[in-house]
Structure 1
C-alpha cells in the first residue's frame, strides 16, 4: 500500500514540475500585441493557460493527498513498532572516587597559578628602542 501511494506521489510531483515548466509567464503575452505571439502557441491563440492551470491544480491536490496518506502510513508503522521493541541503553553511574586523578601530570590544574613558567615576562617581549 505504501509503495503504491509513493508511486502516485512521485508521478504527481513530476507532473507538477512538467506542467509548470510548460506554462508561460504573465509577461509572455506582451509579444502577442506585436503579432508574433499568437502564431507560436501550441494550443491556439488563446493559449492553453486554462487547461494547464486546471491540470496543475489537480496534480497539486493529488500531491497533497498522497503526502497526507504517506504521513498516516508512517505514523501507523511507528505505532506498530511500539516502545516495547526498543532496546533501552544501560545507564552507568560513576562517582568521583572512581575517577583517576593524575597527581604527577604536566597538565596544570584549573585556577592554579604557576609562577615558575617558561614564558618570558611581558617586558622581555618588547624590543628596546634606540
Structure 2
C-alpha cells in the first residue's frame, strides 16, 4: 500500500511539472509558435494544424492525470491510519516520567518566609512639620426645641 501511495505522489508531481511546462509553451491569441521561430504556420514544429491543438490536448490530458492523482491521494489519506501517513511533528514526542519521592526523601510542607525588610532607624525618618494648624472643631449642634 505504501508503494502505491508513493507512486501516486510521483505521478502527481510529474503531471504538475508537465502542466507548468505545457502552459508556458502555449502561445497567446496574437502569437503563433511558428511565427516565434520565423516561419509560417505550415512550417511549424507541430505541422500545418499549428501547435494549438497538440498543446491544448496535452495540457488537458496532464490536468486529468493531475486531478485523478489528487483524488487518489485524498482517498488514501482519509482511509489510512494517521500514524502510517506520518502525522505531525509532535506526534512521537515522549514526556519524561517524574519518579515518585522515596520514603526517606524530605518533602517540604511549608513555603519559606520571604526575607524581612531591613529596619530603618527612627532618626533617619523626618518628623512631621510642626507649623501645621490643628483642624478647626466643628460647631456643636443646636439643641432641639
The two structures have a TM-score, normalised by structure 2, of 0.46
Q: Which residue of 2 aligns with 1:14?
A: 17
Richer in helix (by share): 1
Q: Residue 56 of structure 1 is aligned with which of 34, 54, 59?
A: 59
Determine if contact 1:38/1:44 at 8 Å carries over to the other structure: no
Alignment of 1:71 with 2:74, yes or no, is yes
Deviation string 1:105-129 (CA, Å, 9 cap, x unpaired) is xxxxxxxxxxxxxxxxxxxxxxxxx
Q: Root-mean-square deviation (CA), in Å?
A: 3.7
| Structure 1 residue 26 displacement after superposition | 0.7
Determine if contact 2:15/2:66 at 8 Å carries over to the other structure: yes
Q: Which has the higher contact order (CA 8 A, sep 6+)?
A: 1
Q: Which residue of 2 aligns with 1:38?
A: 40
Unaligned ranges ≥5, structure 2: 85-145
| 1:90-105 alignment runs, 5 A limit | none
Determine if contact 1:19/1:56 at 8 Å carries over to the other structure: yes
SS of structure 2 residue aligned to 1:43:
coil
Determine if contact 2:22/2:55 at 8 Å carries over to the other structure: yes
Q: Which residue of 2 aligns with 1:28?
A: 31
Q: Which has the larger radius of gyration?
A: 2
Q: How many residues align?
A: 88
Determine if contact 1:38/1:45 at 8 Å carries over to the other structure: no
Unaligned ranges ≥5, structure 1: 82-130
The two structures have a TM-score, normalised by structure 1, of 0.51
Work out the CA distance in 1 between the residues paired with 2:53 and 2:24.
15
Work out the CA distance in 2 between the residues paired with 1:7 and 1:17.
16
